[in-house]
Chains A and B, each alone.
Chain A
């Protein structure tokens, strides 16, 4: 894991001081609410439906047990004993008080954490593959690059007041587990003629106008990455629309100019404005990579233990995957236990996990963009032992990648923008499909739920996407099919008129029946079937004889 230098520590400490100053100025009336808002947002502080919400950065989703303990402490002392992991690998507290925020930020700074740029019209937390550095088919670990970009983007003097927020994701292999194609900039590490560099995508995004990123560069040598990012951001900061908040993201600029024209502007800025000092030399690359070395794992032939315990075997089957070092496993922890809000963890769970990670996974925990957690380096022979300990904490739900492993935004239970609730929908799904064998038979299926068109629950890229809408004071849910956030990224298609909360499960069952009818074999998953038969079949089965449609 990355270790803070003295400079990092000083920067975080000075930010705490600065925010304290801003809060005081706000309270003294020297800052108007309009002026305070962007400043507090840049420190991750939102005003929600019922209270402030503080979003704490977890750079590229990597946490130490010490940091997790601090998060648990904050949840208990300043909030209501829990936190919510987000689709950008961060964590949110839902009930902090404004006056406590400087103190919370101070507590965070003691474990090298902060809430900088987790919100606001600036470059947000850099997100990445939660399996970075753990799998065999990786070209290069993306985390060191995330760290390089994190530093560059933190308090960037030029790009702190952009037209709109700006999200960057970096991945290191052909598999995309970071929804890279729906980011403002997506970077994929590739190899060409024995040279490692970046393939660059731009203008992806979700929200009201979902767009898959367009390729702007086939290959960029590593050393130039910051200069190229600057060239893109320079172009966006100058040309991006500021007249309409809904048209201010870079995806709209790329769409309006066309990728060719946008590329030529970027390339011109890249060639004219590149700064020698931003080039990254081999020595500093090596230095950063040094922080991300694997812990001392010794290859061995230990197998995953077999036990005559069905629940355990389900969990092994569904949540555990092999580590690149033989004899070790990657354990994925579902935060989608039945009846629990997706992505939430209690302070007790966090403390238990911190201890578990100390014992079994070199004190390291990862957060996934699908709102789950990962213990990255677990010895095979410890798996049963580990499972027992996770089970006590309700952290051993065997549903990774299955229908009840939903992404879900906070919805109208918390969010001021929401038009419908989303957590209860996720809970309905998890109760209805609770049985593991039933889920396993359905196979890989991603349901993603948003409580409004801003799409924080990623519904556009769900295999089944659910969007909550308000119809004359009633909650209705629109269904999209065929979306994907992976390397085969696609935006889902609306299947037809929306459903009331009570009809929704029935509608999902019908959709699943159509899928089952056309499924050829076990590995023929929902998305493959959808791509083969198209939306028409689903539409027909769903709406013919459906009496209660809206």
Chain B
């Protein structure tokens, strides 16, 4: 798998899933937390000034203001199916309502035809198979700049 950040490939710094039992001991730069783990451990993240990602599933995209998601370095949304359009709205909410300024990444079942939609809703990057790189870039090129909404 590779990470495409718009037109550029970039390194994946977020890999490690943390086991619940040793949350506090294991948390470090590059950890990927579930939202419940984030709620439990966000004070550590702030104290130790580490970069972690919070992962959501497309069918469980919800947050409250108390979650202080703007303090996470990255949010990753895993599409269970590309037909689930909730992450597009969730992305807007993260940016506009929750003031999230970090990296927003799509993973899971996403189609290259959706690349432009992802970017325009506030996603920065997407995790895809290496062999699909060309088609993702090709479709982005076809669609780029051609839309009506601000």
Contact = CB atoms under 8 A, between A and B. Distances in A.
A158 B89 contact: yes
Contact of B135 (A10, A30, A159, A237): A30
B41 interface: no
Given A10-B146, A14-B143, A160 B121 contact: no
Given A157-B120, A160-B85, A242-B59, A278 B143 contact: no
Ordered nearest first, which 4 A-B pairs have the shortest CB separation? A161-B85, A277-B150, A157-B120, A157-B117
B89 A237 contact: yes
B83 A121 contact: yes
B149 interface: yes
Interface string A167-206: 0000000000000000000000000000000000000000
Contacts, number: 89
B92 A242 contact: no
A257 B149 CA distance: 30
B113 interface: yes
A234 interface: yes
Contacts of A14: 142-143, 146
8 contacts: A18-B142, A31-B111, A38-B83, A158-B121, A161-B85, A242-B84, A273-B92, A278-B149
Contacts of B111: 31, 35, 39
Nearest to B117: A157
A339 B81 CA distance: 46
Contact of B148 (A39, A151, A242): A151
A21 B146 contact: no
A18 B83 contact: no
B50 to A, nearest CB: 31
B96 A18 contact: no
Nearest to B113: A39
B129 to A, nearest CB: 11
Contacts of B147: 11, 154-155, 157
Contacts of A7: 146, 148
Given A35-B111, A234-B89, A238-B89, A272 B97 contact: yes
Given A21-B138, A158-B121, A238-B86, 5 more contacts: A21-B142, A152-B149, A234-B89, A237-B85, A275-B150
Interface residues of B, number: 32
Interface residues of A, number: 36
Interface string B56-76: 000101000000000000000
Contacts of B148: 7, 11, 151-152, 154-155
Contacts of A31: 111
B82 A35 contact: yes
A25 B135 contact: yes
Contacts of B61: 238
B88 interface: yes
A156 interface: yes
Contact of B86 (A121, A160, A237): A237
B119 to A, nearest CB: 8
B149 A157 contact: yes
A160 B88 CA distance: 9
Contacts of B85: 121, 158-163, 237
Contacts of B59: 242
Given A30-B135, A160-B85, A161-B83, A234 B92 contact: yes
Nearest to B91: A158
B116 interface: yes
A17 interface: yes
A64 interface: no
B116 A157 contact: yes
Given A121-B83, A278-B150, A157 B88 contact: yes
Interface string A258-273: 0000000000000011
Contacts of B135: 25, 30
A17 B146 CA distance: 13
Nearest to B109: A35
Contacts of A38: 82-83
B44 interface: no
Contacts of B118: 157
A454 interface: no
